[in-house]
Amino acid sequence: MGDAANGVAERFAIGISFGNSCSSIARISPDGKAEVIANEEGDRQIPTVLSYIEGEEYHGTQAKSQLIRNSGNTVAYFRDYLGKDFKSIDPTPCHASAHPQQSDSTVAFSIRDSPSETPNSVTVSEITTRHLRRLKQSATDFLGKDVNAAVITVPTDFSDAQREALVAAAKNAGIDVLQLISEPVAAVMAYDARPEATVTDKLTVVADLGGTRSDVAVVACRGGIYTILATAHDYELGGASLDQVIIDHFAKEFQKKHQVDPRQDVRGLAKLKLEGEATRKALSLSTNSQLSIESLTNGIDFGSTVNRTRFELLSGKVFSQFTGLIEQAVQKANLDVLDIDEVIFSGGTSHTPKIAHLARNIFPEKTAILAPSTLTSAINPSELSARGAAFQASLVQEFDHEDIEQSIHPMVTVTPHLSKAIGVEFTSSTETTFQPLLNAETALPARRIAHYSAPKEGGDVLVRVCEGARNIKVTKPEPKPKEEKPADDEDSDFSDEDDEEEEIREIVWKTEQPVAELAVKGVKAGSKVEVMVHVNPDLGLQIAVREVGGSSAVRGAINGSA
Amino acid sequence: PSLPQGWSAEKDFKPVGGLSAATQRNIEPVGPYFLAHARRKRHNRTFSEDERL
């Protein structure tokens, strides 16, 4: 792998995040940083909307504003219809724009996309092609090079048919899809690919809060390799649910004043939607926001303000749906919030400060909440997928298609994962402790090295490599009953956290099964012992132990069973 | 931990047990570490063989 494509025209690849509401394009800048490209209108989040007036095509923000006056010829929220059967789609998001219709086995829109008065039936694939063509054009204009390839992000639940339809639509737009990667993993990578990031073992929750849907995934990151443990989806929850709160709030206010409900009027509702969304977004940045609409209904202008506190009160129910989805995903992975090392907030709706604050309350203090309102160094949530895709694009740009296809084949990706953590057990005079070295859900083969302090007095050291399990210990808040178990070989508890008095739940490691014992003789006082464990895919192990700085190591191997 | 009295084993190594069964999961084909993994797997190389190249 890694050979440049022979005889093929030079490839120039970007990352594309293709969403129902918004799409983004990104590339890796010459100094190695991911950079989201703005289109000719200056938008980095380009609305996934196409609109036609007199045969002329409008795209992005311009098309989105056509939802008011030209909704019938405006196509929006079509990503999830791609490669799907008409019966299986939910047309709700398209009520205010061109309606999806059945066309043979696929979905189409009846729009006047030519100067003629008769509408054409345009399939969702063709719409996608046109949208991607515009994205490609924007990237090409910005970069001054013909962009002809891309890595595109898709949701984790995208079916094979949807993937194929997307690749075909992209091909028609002149984009060679090198690879489709899933959105949550792209978000994790956007963080991990930063030069300052270090590769660690961690459990990450990616909360992708979009416009019309929200997806949460639990990702195990082990030595830079990602495994999705569980996902949860809500196809009705998103920024639009929050927009509805704003719309209802202002509509009621308008109704009180003028005895007309602007929501009853199609155009009034469209205006409220567009401006309500802008108001909601403004509330993520400032504590006060205003809304003003000319001729909302019956020719009456409307202007009003709302503050963030009020909005957060009204949205309480919607917010709890978001946090509920996150908790659901953690539960699905058979994990506890204590296990989670970081929560990455992705998607436009993640700008909402209150959602990150609520997540802060769910997770323990050590969990990093990566959102703009909780962490100043957080990356813009709207840009994560596109940045991750750009990074992957830069990695596979040189590869042949055959190489990429072989690499993403299940032969390669289906890998045994450790079901239990492997670690080292320490026995002191008072207690036995277990420190994990390889965490559960680590993809095999894997190798880890760690240093442990030898007893102060030095001498001969015994290293016991064991399998361990994580338990949640619930302690009563009052006088803490200290576990005073004898240092039993098989069965002992230890808390690896400096627990505070008020803490009630904590992670406790329990040795489950010993694997091997090794002895290092004649260790100097105050020295450290290095333990290396290598696990093969067949569950065989190689273990080596030596004194740090020492020359000779004790090693041994255990044959795998599988 | 100090070596208990009377502990001995051939070459100071004593296997005691094996690992519990692994779970088969799908890893995400993304990132530089995955690409390195794929390269090793397709060419049947081990970590150290891969490093030598």
Please report the DSSP string for A55-93 in residue order. TEEEETHHHHHHHHH-GGGEEES-GGGTT--GGG---GG
Contacts of B47 in chain A (CB under 8 A): 445, 447, 534
A186 assigned to some structural domain:
no
Is B34 close to A226, i.e. CB distance below 8 A?
yes
When pLDDT is cut at 50, 70 and 90, the band that residue A491 belongs to is very low
When pLDDT is cut at 50, 70 and 90, the band that residue A546 belongs to is confident
Average pLDDT in chain B? 73
Averaged pLDDT for residues A34-62: 94
Nearest to B33 among A223, A408, A560 (CB): A223
Which of A123-127, A139-143, A217-221, A436-440 shows the lowest per-residue confidence on average (mean pLDDT)? A436-440
Which of A25-34, A136-145, A457-466 shows the lowest per-residue confidence on average (mean pLDDT)? A457-466
When pLDDT is cut at 50, 70 and 90, the band that residue A335 belongs to is very high
- The pLDDT score that the predictor gives to residue B4 is 60
Q: Which domain holds residue A449?
A: 421-470+507-558
- The pLDDT score that the predictor gives to residue B23 is 84
β-bridge pairing A528-535 and A225-234: unpaired
Same domain, A542 and A426: yes
When pLDDT is cut at 50, 70 and 90, the band that residue B48 belongs to is low
Query: Closest-CA residue in chain B for A446?
Result: B47
Q: Provide φ and ψ at A208, rounded to 5°.
A: -100, 100
- The pLDDT score that the predictor gives to residue A486 is 47
When pLDDT is cut at 50, 70 and 90, the band that residue B21 belongs to is confident
- The pLDDT score that the predictor gives to residue A485 is 47
Same domain, A85 and A7: yes
A388 assigned to some structural domain:
no
- The pLDDT score that the predictor gives to residue A487 is 46
A537 assigned to some structural domain:
yes
Residue A456 scores a pLDDT above 80 = no
Q: What is the Cα–Cα distance from A165 to A384, expressed in whole angstroms?
A: 24
The interface residues of chain A toward chain B in range 376-395, judged by CB-CB distance below 8 A, are: 388, 392, 395
Task: Provide the Cα torsion A404, A406, A409, A412; round to 10°.
Answer: -100
Same domain, A173 and A248: no
Contacts of B46 in chain A (CB under 8 A): 445
Are the CB atoms for A271 and A243 separated by under 8 Å?
no
Same domain, A243 and A177: no
Among A273, A290, A316, which residue terminates a domain? A316
Is A515 close to B19, i.e. CB distance below 8 A?
yes
Nearest to A412 among B21, B22, B42 (CB): B42
- Please tell me the distance in Å from A227's CA to the nearest CA on chain B: 5
Same domain, A170 and A282: no
Can you tell me the ipTM of this complex?
0.82
Same domain, A134 and A14: yes
Is B16 close to A534, i.e. CB distance below 8 A?
no
What single DSSP character describes residue A383?
Answer: G
- The pLDDT score that the predictor gives to residue A307 is 94
With pLDDT > 90 as the criterion, what percentage of chain B qualifies? 0
Domain count, chain A: 3
Question: 3-state class of A289 per DSSP?
Answer: strand
Put simply, whether A525 touches B (Cβ < 8 Å) is no
- The pLDDT score that the predictor gives to residue A492 is 41
CB pairs under 8 A between A and B: 182
When pLDDT is cut at 50, 70 and 90, the band that residue A562 belongs to is very low
Is B2 close to A459, i.e. CB distance below 8 A?
yes
- The pLDDT score that the predictor gives to residue A366 is 92
Residue A80 scores a pLDDT above 60 = yes
Same domain, A90 and A18: yes
- The pLDDT score that the predictor gives to residue B15 is 72
Is A539 close to B26, i.e. CB distance below 8 A?
no
Averaged pLDDT for residues A249-262: 93
Among A266, A298, A316, which residue terminates a domain? A316
Are the CB atoms for A115 and A53 separated by under 8 Å?
no
Same domain, A176 and A268: no
- Lookup: tokens for A150: 């891309």
β-sheet with A554-558: strand ranges across = A446-453, A528-535, A541-547, A554-558
A134 assigned to some structural domain:
yes
Is A518 close to B4, i.e. CB distance below 8 A?
no
Are the CB atoms for A494 and A407 separated by under 8 Å?
no
Which of A99-113, A259-273, A430-444 shows the lowest per-residue confidence on average (mean pLDDT)? A430-444
Which of A3-17, A152-166, A367-381 shows the lowest per-residue confidence on average (mean pLDDT)? A3-17
CATH of the domain at A279: 3.90.640.10
CA angle at A559 for the pair A557 and B3, rounded to the nearest 5°? 40
Long-range contacts of A476-481 (CB under 8 A, 24+ apart): A476/A504, A477/A501, A477/A502, A477/A504
Residue A1 scores a pLDDT above 70 = no
Nearest to A407 among B20, B23, B29 (CB): B29
Residue A391 scores a pLDDT above 50 = yes
Same domain, A35 and A142: yes
Estimate to the nearest angstrom the gap between the alpha carbon of A504 and the chain centroid.
Answer: 30
